[in-house]
Amino acid sequence: MVSEFSITRTVEFAETDMAGIMHFSNYFRWMESCETAFLRSLGLSLASFVPGQVVGWPRVSAKCDFRVPLRFGDTVEVRLYVKEIRTRAVVFLFQFRKLAKGKPEPDILSQGELVCVSVTSDAKGRMVSQPIPPEYRGKLRMAPKQAWQTED
């Protein structure tokens, strides 16, 4: 069972505003990229469209607190923590840190959170929440609070 995962990204020019600062919307894209890579690393998918096995993970809450801006050319670690596993939802926490000589610096530049609900489709094709499928629950573990909690 896994409780954390990370990816490395470099801020591209197209992801910035004219001042060279990464646009806020890209933090959410990077969080979702990290989540997708995390699930893929476990042999799981963010969405399955197989009839009778439809599973999806829509977001019911998404937030990001920005402390220090990311700028064009910055290389960043995006670290995902499994903050909470509920009956029908998973809460992922993401921390953004600059990399220096391949290692994350101690300061958290931004921190975000996604609450993702497990859904399937009913007989009429409507999306309905469901308990987290066993193949997902069996591969996820909550990260210890001391791994992701900050003092601010």
Claim: this prediction has a pTM higher than 0.85: yes
Is 74 one of the catalytic residues? no
The CATH number of whichever domain residue 131 belongs to comes to 3.10.129.10
Of these residues, 17, 65, 107, 122, which one is catalytic? Answer: 17
Average pLDDT for residues 32-42, to the nearest whole number? 96
What is the pLDDT at residue 121? Answer: 84
Domain that holds residue 127: 4-145
Q: What is the DSSP string of 70-130?
A: -BTT-EEEEEEEEEEE-SSEEEEEEEEEEEETTEE-SS--EEEEEEEE-EEE-TTS-EEE-
Average pLDDT for residues 47-63, to the nearest whole number? 83
Confidence bin at 152 (pLDDT 50/70/90): low
pLDDT digit string, tens, across residues 90-104: 999 999 999 998 899
Domain count, the chain: 1
115 pLDDT higher than 90: yes
